[in-house]
Structure 1
């Protein structure tokens, strides 16, 4: 699953379209956290990053929440931000396309210089950074998904179908030492954003968990409250850690309707709505950030959503959570 083409703005400005976010403890360097932001679906071999954007990672410490049927974790106010920006491309042709330089501002106060497509990346004390084209890890039968939404019946027939097989994205990878996390946090929430660069920074896109905009917010026909509202750009502009109260009601109405639809496709209801009509997973989805335990080792399988689901069951989690490139 992924986050491609998550609204009208992403269609109009694909360079700002975040296609994926991953966050996981490094399998090679214990004590380090790996963050991956992918952008630009269908990236050609000569693709470069935008010199008009800020590519940003945000991390906040998390604490367990005591809200019944709410989000299982609450984000703290302290935050670390990792910003990466790129120069305008300079002349050059060939397999690597035009040359481009970038700088990444990290929590230690240093800046890491990188050259796009350089496999060695850039390094500073406790930080490594890579930027360049990579194979798109998006694995889903997109036409079958759209048919499922349109017909209300499961339309998946080929478990090996990969809609974007062989396509590339631009990938930005940052590896940092977990000692830079706020307050020595063990559990962190991670989001990625693209913003306009300059004196006024406007958030264009943000990603926590995959496919929240496209599969949980895009379908309109099940939402009796806001049936004509294209909600995804509003959602993408919002702050993942501080949702705007002006639109929270619209987000909840859409999620209550669409989560019930997805739950119904196997002919039974595993997550019945509460008496007020709210779906029991809506608040968890609205807390839209990856949850990572940076003290646990890398786990390639079974870690995604494991921490959130364990918290809902009142159990201790077993894995690092987050989202890995498995």
Structure 2
């Protein structure tokens, strides 16, 4: 195992997104913060033997803001995987930045579950250089895992103005096509693709993502 410049730190929960959900502008306590999760996606990879986990943070970045947007070295993104249906994480994949690279740990069984987490630096490690805005995507491939970290166009579509009209009772439904409120804005993405065999083969899993800040 290589030296990683990382030691064990305690991280505590800052924000959580469960399943495929969105939190772009409706959480003012964390909106625009370095730990604000906008979306979480989990899906089968193009290689059907793999599963892909994606966490997007720092929503509503304009192109000029994206130029200077960075991942916070005091924030860890944790993908939680429940393999037995008890809604408690049995495996985690943890991602944390350091010196221009994103380090990935796992999947592995955490020593503790819930709000607090530590990184076990003895587990399988993958890392990738963080892609800069306007740069071709840098894809890391280590330990049978693929990983990426960097800015991407926000993939979420929402006609927020029309939604407000519907909630207010001034409209009965969405227009087709609608107007994408998030068009032209970016997010910072963390992506990891792992073999299904590393998380329990082809069985059903529950999965969610958390952002945690170093205490």
TM class by shorter-chain length?
0.7 to 0.9
Is 1:85 matched up with 2:104?
no
More contact order relative to length (CA 8 Å, sep ≥ 6) = 2
Deviation at 1:75, TM superposition (A): 3.0
Alignment of structure 1 residues 89-108 onto 2, 5 Å: 100-107=100-107
Distance 2:176 2:30 in 1: 28
Q: Is the 8 A contact 1:60 1:77 kept in 2?
A: yes
Structure 2 unmatched runs, 5+: 1-20, 109-122
Q: 2:129 aligns with which of 99, 115, 118?
A: 115
Dislocated runs of 4+, deviation >4 Å: none
Is 1:160 matched up with 2:187?
no
Deviation at 1:41, TM superposition (A): 1.1
Cα deviation 1:17-45 (Å, max 9, x = unaligned):
11111111111x22110111111112322
Aligned partner of 1:26 in structure 2 is 45
Structure 1 unmatched runs, 5+: 63-73, 89-99, 199-326
Aligned partner of 1:194 in structure 2 is 211
Distance 1:77 1:18 in 2: 20
Is 1:3 matched up with 2:17?
no
| Equivalences, count | 173
Cα deviation 1:91-145 (Å, max 9, x = unaligned):
xxxxxxxxx2221112262111211107232222221110000110121110111
Distance 2:78 2:151 in 1: 18
Specify which structure has the higher proportion of strand: 2
Is 1:17 matched up with 2:36?
yes
Larger Rg computed on CA atoms: 1
Aligned partner of 1:51 in structure 2 is 73
Normalising by structure 2, what TM-score? Answer: 0.72
Deviation at 1:155, TM superposition (A): 5.4
Supply the RMSD in Å over aligned alpha carbons: 2.2
Specify whether residues 111 and 6 from structure 1 end up closer, same or farther in structure 2 by C-alpha distance, changes over 3 A only.
farther
